[in-house]
């Protein structure tokens, strides 16, 4: 793969999914705690070279989409057309003026299992080709059938491939091909449009399951696959900060300013809650602690907003396609009183992690006047994080 080959993603989610036969379209069905489309989004966003991700949706699904992305910051979705090809073209036109690189991957939102390994393979293919696609050789016997489902002629499966997405292209080549065949809706994928416009496509064998959710039984199969791909991990964090002698109006706890008159001594902003949570996240994936990544001996972290450390730890989890299931935080101090700000802390942490507030629990307790916290000398904090992550070899 070419070093620093940045790419953009066009995620197609405008289909009505009639074949799935449910009240909620397949791309918004729950898959192990997250909508199918969110699994696809997270897979790309966790890849460091992914610079932009544009989603194309059905306007009628706007509320479903909003709930699916939660607190993620993404470009405003584009409304699709009456066919896959029209939806893709609308998406391409929406990003044409802002494309800062020449590589575009087009992916179906109903495929939740795209791996980093296969993204690597596509990017490598695009070093020499203008059109690439994932696929798998056909192993089943192929036959045609008439309208009564009676089998007719046999189809030679030799050299036959079942094509998948993502499909990768040089952006300008793809949009030019779409514009040339603007009124032709007979194409079922973008490689077909490219080939009609004189480009050849290289097929790359998919290394993982990469199934497409089309029928309810596909969703059940996806649940089995996902349960086998991920492992449950636990991370713990603990931190202490002493009170100083400076008179202040607020101290930073859980990402918010809490009224209190004594400062917390620290190299950064002294947010003992976010420091503890950062350690717990890092511990869940065996990545050391906050001091290893952001040593206090380094002046660049002086007075740094602790949300920066938390976001960095969360990025590491996202690179492992982690799903955070539960966060439990215990703050130990005599003062300040934290009950009035507990909900604000939960909301702030949920926002920072792009998570549902319901998975975040914050408790405040004292040590009954015992020890350094009991004497009002400082604040201690403990945190436990439960998450599921992809095994390292899946995306190696």
325 and 275 co-located in one domain: yes
pLDDT attached to residue 58: 95
Taking the C-alpha atoms of residue 6 and residue 96, their distance in angstroms, rounded to an integer, is: 16
243 and 130 co-located in one domain: no
Q: What is the DSSP letter of 10?
A: E
CA-closest candidate to residue 264, choices 240, 239, 243, 238: 243
236 and 208 co-located in one domain: no
Beta-carbon contacts of residue 394 (< 8 Å; ≥ 6 apart): 115, 117, 208, 229
Taking the C-alpha atoms of residue 274 and residue 280, their distance in angstroms, rounded to an integer, is: 10
70 and 189 co-located in one domain: yes
298 and 374 co-located in one domain: yes
Would you state the structure tokens that stand for residue 181, as one six-digit string?
């065949």
Taking the C-alpha atoms of residue 391 and residue 115, their distance in angstroms, rounded to an integer, is: 12
Q: Please, are residues 258 and 365 in contact by the beta-carbon 8 Å criterion?
A: no
Domain boundary among 180, 214, 248: 214
What are the tens digits of pLDDT across the range 39-91?
999 999 988 899 999 999 999 999 999 999 987 889 999 999 999 999 999 99
Would you state the structure tokens that stand for residue 328, as one six-digit string?
């439990």
CA-closest candidate to residue 381, choices 353, 349, 351: 349
What are the tens digits of pLDDT across the range 185-233?
889 999 999 999 999 999 999 998 899 999 999 999 998 888 777 789 9
Q: Please, are residues 336 and 261 in contact by the beta-carbon 8 Å criterion?
A: no
Taking the C-alpha atoms of residue 167 and residue 354, their distance in angstroms, rounded to an integer, is: 28
205 and 252 co-located in one domain: no
170 and 304 co-located in one domain: no
In a domain? residue 223: no
Position with higher pLDDT, 302 vs 122: 122
Number of domains, the chain: 2
φ, ψ for residue 72 (rounded to 5)? Answer: -60, 140
340 and 204 co-located in one domain: no
- Residue range of the domain that includes 52: 7-214
pLDDT attached to residue 312: 93
Taking the C-alpha atoms of residue 345 and residue 45, their distance in angstroms, rounded to an integer, is: 26
Radius of gyration from C-alpha coordinates of the chain: 25
176 and 37 co-located in one domain: yes
In a domain? residue 152: yes
In a domain? residue 166: yes
What are the tens digits of pLDDT across the range 257-266?
999 999 999 8
In a domain? residue 222: no
291 and 201 co-located in one domain: no
207 and 290 co-located in one domain: no
């Amino acid at each position: 793969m070419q070093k620093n080959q940045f790419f953009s993603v066009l995620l197609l989610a405008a289909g009505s999914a009639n074949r799935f036969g449910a009240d909620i379209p397949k791309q918004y069905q729950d898959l192990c705690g997250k909508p199918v489309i969110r699994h696809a989004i997270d897979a790309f966003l966790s890849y460091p070279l992914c610079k932009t991700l544009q989603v194309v949706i059905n306007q009628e699904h706007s509320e479903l989409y909003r709930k699916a992305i939660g607190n993620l910051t993404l470009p405003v979705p584009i409304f699709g057309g009456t066919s896959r090809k029209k939806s893709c073209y609308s998406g391409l036109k929406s990003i044409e003026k802002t494309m800062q690189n020449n590589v575009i991957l087009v992916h179906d939102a109903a495929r939740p299992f795209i791996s980093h390994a296969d993204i690597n393979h596509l990017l490598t293919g695009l070093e020499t080709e203008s059109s690439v696609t994932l696929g798998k050789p056909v192993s089943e016997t192929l036959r045609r059938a008439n309208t009564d489902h009676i089998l007719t002629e046999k189809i030679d499966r030799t050299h036959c491939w079942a094509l998948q997405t993502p499909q990768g292209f040089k952006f300008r080549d793809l949009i030019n091909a779409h514009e040339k065949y603007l009124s032709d809706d007979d194409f079922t994928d973008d490689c077909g449009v490219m080939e009609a416009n004189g480009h050849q496509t290289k097929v790359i064998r998919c290394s993982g399951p990469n199934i497409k959710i089309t029928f309810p039984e596909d969703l059940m199969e996806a649940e089995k696959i996902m349960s086998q791909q991920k492992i449950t991990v636990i991370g713990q964090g603990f931190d202490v900060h002493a009170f100083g002698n400076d008179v202040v109006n607020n101290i930073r706890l859980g990402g918010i300013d809490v009224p209190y008159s004594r400062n917390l001594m620290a190299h950064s902003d002294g947010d003992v809650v976010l420091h503890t949570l950062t350690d717990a996240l890092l511990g869940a994936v065996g990545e050391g602690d906050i001091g290893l990544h952001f040593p206090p001996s380094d002046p660049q972290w002086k007075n740094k907003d602790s949300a920066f450390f938390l976001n960095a730890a969360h990025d590491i989890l996202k690179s492992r396609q982690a799903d955070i299931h539960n966060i439990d935080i215990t703050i130990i101090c005599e003062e300040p009183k934290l009950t009035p700000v507990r909900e604000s802390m939960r909301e702030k942490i949920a926002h920072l992690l792009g998570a549902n507030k319901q998975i975040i629990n914050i408790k405040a307790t004292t040590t009954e006047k015992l020890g350094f916290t009991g004497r009002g000398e400082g604040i201690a904090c403990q945190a436990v994080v439960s998450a599921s992550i992809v095994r390292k070899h899946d995306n190696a």
